[in-house]
């Protein structure tokens, strides 16, 4: 990996792309620490220092993770990339349900551009809703429950509207920066920005662990390195289903006769099931935050506060694991259609050796995919639960960078970016094919 990056900096055009990407990342991080107009930065800093480890992480864990710690600072980029991720997932799910969106997806580049435009509109709408919710929490003092310092300079309507508009505009700028990286930089822009926000909390969290105990720091680093190695191994693992194309005459030319394969990954769903599960578990925590301070919260709120707020509770962990299993099978079923793949293979004269084309091929692909998912779903659940247990022993917060979601994002984006750099190097230098 390091050799590929070194050779990339020696190539003039790739060096320009890498420097452009680094510049966008620096600008992105600047917006993550720039306070929103109307926020009392000094009181926010004091509130963050006084907050207990893990309190805010349990409530806003997923959004806080994808904002790189900018959410509780109420910065310009406080919402981070989360509205765009949510909008993309919603559009991807609706594509299976709404025939119009499914037709657009099959139209190719023009249809994809239209779906991307819908994603942008939905992102802005979600950004307005989320920014309004967090500004309301800051105004009522529930953003930092254990702090009595005023977070806002003024609580008039003009200040609140200005904050909502600023945070929504920040989300729009993030989308624009991500598209710039995709067009003029290296790698997928949105993935690079997610990677940046996830690793942004590394220095502070590692320093907190080291200040507590040098032994804990060493143990956590060893556990983190082992987890990264395991994730890299499994993320690269795939089942290659061989496909043979029969020879056919078109005019005076003969086509086909080639052999290829269908790569089915063990973790076919990626990070999406973990995001789904975390988002659902975020809802009961938000309900406890809003209604838990009342005089008579009710038995439901009390049960949620006792079982689904703290990450180290057995009910929380069991629910989290079960949701990951469910969403893994659900997401794989809607993103990979064995019947459609089998029909396309049959249309172009392709077949799996030993399997008849058509329905038998679809059943075989579904059988293989189900077996792979039976290993991939528990893998996602275990990777997401191990940090909760290990880091609770180490005394780290729930937003510790070696969490399961963080590692999956870092490994996935890192591997994809390095592959793109190597592919561009091979286009300019054939040395990569000879080694």
Residues 34 and 199: beta-carbon distance below 8 Å = no
pLDDT digits (tens, 9 = 90+) for 190-236: 888 888 888 887 777 778 778 877 887 888 788 788 888 888 898 88
Superfamily of domain 1-201: SecY subunit domain (1.10.3370.10)
Counting Cα atoms < 13 Å in the Cβ hemisphere of 203 gives 3
Distance separating alpha carbons of residues 361 and 140, to the nearest angstrom: 59
Distance separating alpha carbons of residues 81 and 175, to the nearest angstrom: 8
Residues 421 and 1: beta-carbon distance below 8 Å = no
| Confidence (pTM) | 0.78
Second CATH level (architecture) for the domain 202-398: Orthogonal Bundle (1.10)
pLDDT digits (tens, 9 = 90+) for 235-259: 889 999 998 887 766 666 766 667 8
From 42-51, 298-307, 366-375, 394-403, the region with the lowest mean pLDDT = 394-403
Comparing C-alpha atoms, which of 350, 191, 352, 196 is closest to residue 264? 352
Is pLDDT of 430 > 70? no
Banded model confidence at residue 387, pLDDT cuts 50, 70, 90: low
Is pLDDT of 55 > 70? no
The stretch 67-94 carries a mean pLDDT of 81
What's the first-to-final CA gap in the chain, in angstroms? 15
What is the pLDDT, as a whole number, of residue 97?
Answer: 82
Six-digit token string for 243: 């496909």
DSSP 269: T
Considering the chain, tell me which residue range(s) the CATH 1.10.3370.10 domain(s) occupy. Answer: 1-201, 202-398
Q: DSSP string of 35-97?
A: BPTTB-HHHHHHHHHHSPTTHHHHHHHHHHHHTTT-TTTTBTTTTTTHHHHHHHHHHHHHHHH
Strand partners, 238: 265
Q: DSSP string of 360-383?
A: HHHHHHHHHHHHHHHHHHHHHHHH
């Amino acid at each position: 990996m390091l050799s590929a990056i070194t050779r990339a900096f020696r190539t003039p055009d790739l060096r320009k792309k890498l420097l452009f990407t680094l510049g966008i990342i620096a600008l992105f991080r600047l917006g993550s620490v720039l306070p929103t107009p109307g926020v009392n930065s000094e009181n926010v800093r004091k509130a963050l220092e006084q907050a207990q480890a893990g309190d805010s992480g349990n409530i806003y864990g997923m959004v806080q993770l994808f904002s790189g710690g900018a959410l509780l600072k109420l910065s310009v980029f406080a919402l981070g990339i989360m509205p765009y991720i949510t909008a993309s997932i919603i559009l991807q799910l609706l594509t299976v349900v709404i025939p119009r969106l499914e037709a657009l997806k099959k139209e190719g580049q023009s249809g994809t551009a239209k779906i991307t435009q819908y994603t942008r509109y939905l992102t802005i709408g979600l950004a307005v809703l989320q920014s309004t919710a967090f500004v309301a929490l800051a105004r009522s003092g529930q953003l930092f429950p254990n702090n009595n310092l005023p977070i806002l300079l003024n609580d008039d309507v003009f200040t609140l509207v200005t904050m909502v508009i600023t945070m929504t505009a920040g989300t729009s700028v993030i989308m624009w920066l991500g598209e710039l990286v995709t067009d003029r930089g290296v790698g997928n822009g949105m993935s690079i920005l997610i990677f940046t926000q996830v690793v942004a909390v590394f220095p502070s969290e590692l320093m907190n662990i080291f200040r507590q105990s040098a032994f804990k720091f060493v143990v956590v680093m060893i556990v983190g390195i082992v987890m990264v190695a395991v994730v890299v191994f499994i993320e690269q693992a795939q089942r290659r289903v061989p496909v043979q194309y029969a020879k056919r005459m078109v005019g005076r030319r003969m086509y086909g006769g080639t052999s290829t394969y269908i790569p089915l990954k063990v973790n076919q769903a990626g990070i999406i099931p973990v995001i789904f599960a975390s988002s659902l578990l975020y809802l009961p925590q938000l309900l406890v935050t809003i209604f838990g301070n009342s005089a008579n919260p009710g038995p439901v709120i009390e049960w949620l506060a006792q079982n689904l707020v703290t990450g180290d509770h057995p009910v929380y962990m069991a629910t989290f694991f079960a949701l990951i299993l469910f969403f893994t099978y659900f997401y794989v079923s809607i993103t990979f259609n064995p019947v459609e793949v089998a029909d396309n293979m049959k249309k172009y004269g392709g077949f799996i050796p030993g399997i008849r084309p058509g329905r038998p091929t679809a059943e075989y692909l579904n059988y293989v995919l189900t077996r792979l998912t039976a290993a991939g779903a528990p893998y996602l659940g275990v990777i997401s639960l191990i940090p909760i247990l290990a880091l609770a022993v180490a005394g780290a917060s729930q937003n510790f960078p070696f969490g399961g979601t963080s590692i999956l994002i870092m490994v996935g984006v890192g591997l994809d970016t390095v592959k793109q750099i190597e592919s561009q190097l091979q286009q300019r230098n054939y040395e990569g094919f000879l080694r």
